Amino acid sequence: MGRNEMLAPGVPKYGRSKMMKMRKANQYAKKGGEKKKVEEKKVTYGKYVEADPVKVPLPSTKRSSRPTKLKKTIKPGSVLIVLSGRFMGKRVVFLKQLPSGLLLVTGPYKLNGCPIRRINQAYVIATSTTVDISGVNTDKIDDAYFARVKEAKEGEEGFFDNQEKINPEWLEKRKADQKAIDEPLLAAVSKVSLLAEYLQAPFTLSKGQAPHMMKF
Amino acid sequence: MSMFKRFVEPGRLALITYGPCAGKLCTVTDIVDQKRVVVDGPEDITGVRRHMMPIKRLSLTDFRFVAKRGIREKVLRKGLEKSGNLNKFWESSWGKKLKTQEARKNMTDFERFKVMCAKQKRSKEVKKSLKKK
């Protein structure tokens, strides 16, 4: 290009109107007039601009994952009524909310057969009754505790074995943890009259009772 | 021998049975016409503001204190306090019934369980004593 130059591929320095002006000026010059110089406009930059701007990614709108918001009515030690699953109808004691958002609960096992378990708070009615869990230590228990146990056994034999056997070590550990958590709980429960019987009894609706009209 | 014992008159304690103030006590303070009265349980005592109400919404109680038509709040408060009508009402059998109804409605799950246990215990005792006979 003669008068023009490319600043970047496809971006000429002088646009159409400027080029026209320069052409015209040159025409007059050729005819004998003065060459009109097209003054280059001094470009003043307001602020410093990078010659080669680095692409900055837009701020992420994703939120860092956090556990689901706990219902206001659920407090550590609350008695919860389980609404679905194997322990449907049982009244269990809420211990803490795990990082996955699920609730850690226990029967206690001796009272209603529910072990240390995870439940989703959507499948639970929170009652206003609470048990004193100050003596209970749940630090060891998190989501990884409930991961499925895989025994590394190779081959077809191993495959069938895994399906039928429960690892005895794992079972013993579970029993020990259950006992460690339930003992202080049972002591606290026995202090309140009828609370043990309450946790033993399943929750039922009788004629005329409607959960939306009942206070829990 | 008079047929009626409870009259719509200033100073009469009444229970509101319908509308936004249902279940609250109030005192009749003035009479508008055959169908309407002005009612006031002083608001901070019973939660009923001074306003006009059809008599149909009221259940009259046995309790009143002597008052003239159009009594204002100060006199109303004095009258209620001196007569002790509110307490008298809650101690009457009607008032007690209302209280037990409220208690039953507000039972928690644990309380319901305890009531069930108590009922079972009572019926066991009854059956036992019947069996003896």
pLDDT tens-place string over residues A119-159: 999 999 999 999 999 989 888 898 888 887 766 555 555 55
Among A201, A206, A211, A210, CA closest to A79: A201
Indicate whether A52 pLDDT > 90. Answer: no
Q: Please give, rounded to a whole number of angstroms, the shortest distance from the CA of A119 to a CA of chain B.
A: 20
User: Given an 8 Å threshold on Cβ–Cβ distance, is A215 in contact with B110?
Assistant: no
Q: How many residues can be counted in chain A?
A: 216
**A197 in contact with B, Cβ within 8 Å:** yes
Residues in A touching B108 (Cβ below 8 Å): 127-129, 215-216
Q: Indicate the range of A1-15, A21-35, A70-84, B80-94 predicted with least confidence.
A: A21-35
Residue of A nearest to B116 (CA): A198
- Residue A161 confidence (pLDDT): 56
Report yes or no: B114 and B122 within 8 Å, Cβ to Cβ: no
User: Given an 8 Å threshold on Cβ–Cβ distance, is B109 in contact with A127?
Assistant: yes
pLDDT band at residue A115 under the 50/70/90 scheme: very high
Indicate whether A40 pLDDT > 90. Answer: no
pLDDT tens-place string over residues A191-215: 999 999 999 999 999 998 999 999 9
pLDDT band at residue A38 under the 50/70/90 scheme: low
The residue assigned the tokens 């410093």 is A48
Mean pLDDT (chain A) is 84
CA distance A67 to A103: 10
Interface list for chain B against chain A, based on CB atoms closer than 8 Å: 105-110, 113-114, 117
Reported ipTM: the value is 0.72
CA separation, residue B126 to residues B93, B114, B119, B123, B133 (Å): 26, 18, 11, 5, 11
Q: Identify the H or E element spanning A128.
A: strand A124-130
CA distance A83 to A40: 79
pLDDT tens-place string over residues B83-123: 999 999 999 999 999 999 999 999 999 999 999 999 999 99
Pairwise pLDDT comparison (A56 vs A78), residue with the higher score: A78
Pairwise pLDDT comparison (A186 vs A164), residue with the higher score: A186
Indicate whether A164 pLDDT > 90. Answer: no
User: Given an 8 Å threshold on Cβ–Cβ distance, is B117 in contact with A197?
Assistant: yes
- Residue B96 confidence (pLDDT): 96
Indicate whether B14 pLDDT > 60. Answer: yes
- Residue A56 confidence (pLDDT): 77
pLDDT tens-place string over residues A63-114: 777 788 999 999 999 999 999 999 999 999 999 999 889 999 998 999 999 9
- Residue B18 confidence (pLDDT): 95
- Residue B28 confidence (pLDDT): 96
